[in-house]
Chains A and B, each alone.
Chain A
Amino acid sequence: MSARNRIWHIASNTFREAVRDRVLYNLIVFALLMSGASILVGQISIDIERLVVINLGLTAVSLFGMVIAIFIGIGLVSKEIEKRTLYTVLSRPVRRWEFIVGKFFGLAGTLAVNTFFMAVGVFVSLLYVSHHFQKQDGWVLVALYFIILQFLIVTALTLLFSSFSSPLLSAVFAFSIFVIGSFAEDLRGFAGITHGITRWLATGAAYMVPNFSALNVISSVAHAQPVSGQLILYNSAYALIYATMAISGAVLVFERRNLK
Chain B
Amino acid sequence: MKTSRQVTLVFSLILLGCLAASVVLLRRVDRMRAGTSLEEVLYISSPKALKKMSLGYDGLLADIYWTRAVQYFGSRHHEGAQHFDLLAPLLEITTTLDPHLLVAYEYGANFLAPKPPNGGGMPGRAIQLEEFGIRNNPNEWRLYYNEGFIRYMELKDYAGASDVFARGSKVPNAHPFLAILAGKMAEHAGDQQMARMMWSTTYQTTKDTTVRANAAAHLRALQVDEDVTNLEALAGRFEKQTGHFPSGFSELQAAGWLRGTPLDPLGHTYKLIGDGRVEVREPDDLPFIQKGTPPGYVAPSAPRFLPAD
Q: Does B172 contact A (CB under 8 A)?
A: no
Beta-carbon contacts under 8 Å, A6-54 to B: 41, 44-48, 51-52, 54
Asked whether any CB of chain A lies closer than 8 Å to the CB of B285, the reply is no
Q: Is the CB of B52 within 8 A of A219?
A: no
In the bound complex, residues from chain B placing their C-beta under 8 Å from that of A46 are 66, 70, 103, 107, 208, 210
In the complex, A191 has a CB within 8 A of chain B: no
**Which of A68-76, A178-186, A243-251 binds B?**
A178-186
Task: Say whether, besides A52-B63, A55-B60, A47 and B52 are in contact (CB < 8 Å).
Answer: no
Q: Which residues of chain A have C-beta atoms less than 8 A from B101's C-beta?
A: 48, 51
CB-contact partner of B58 in A63, A186, A219, under 8 A? A219
Also in contact, A182 and B100, with CB within 8 A (given A44-B67, A46-B107, A48-B67) = no
In the complex, what residues of A have CB within 8 A of residue B103's CB?
46-48
Residue in B52, B55, B63 whose CB lies within 8 Å of A51: B63
Say yes or no: is A203 at the interface (Cβ < 8 Å to chain B).
no
Q: Would you call the interface of chain A mostly helix, strand, loop, or mixed?
A: helix
Q: In the assembled complex, which residues on chain B have CB atoms less than 8 Å from the CB atom of A48?
A: 63, 66-67, 101, 103
A51 with B59, Cβ < 8 A, contacts A46-B70, A46-B103 known: yes
**Pairwise interchain contact A55-B208, C-beta atoms closer than 8 A:** no
Q: Which residue of B lies closest to A57 (CB)?
A: B60
A218 at the interface (CB under 8 A from B): yes
For residue B98, CB closer than 8 A to chain A, the reply is: yes
- Beta-carbon contact of A179 and B59 below 8 Å: no
CA distance A54 to B70 in the complex (A): 20
B56 adjacent to chain A (CB < 8 Å): yes
Closest residue of B by beta carbon distance from A178: B55
Q: Which of B55, B59, B62, B210 has the most CB of A within 10 A?
A: B59
Q: How far is the CB of A182 from chain B (nearest CB, A)?
A: 4
Asked if A223 and B100 sit within 8 Å, CB to CB, the answer is yes
CA of A109 to CA of B47, assembled, Å: 38
Interface residues of A (CB under 8 A from B): 41, 44-48, 51-52, 54-56, 59, 62-63, 178-179, 182-183, 186, 212-213, 216, 218-219, 222-223, 225
Please name 9 pairs of A and B residues whose Cβ atoms are closer than 8 Å in the assembled complex, sorted by A.
A41-B63, A44-B71, A45-B66, A45-B71, A55-B63, A56-B60, A216-B56, A218-B60, A219-B98
**Contact residues of B with A, CB < 8 Å?**
52, 55-60, 62-63, 66-67, 70-71, 98, 100-101, 103, 107, 208, 210
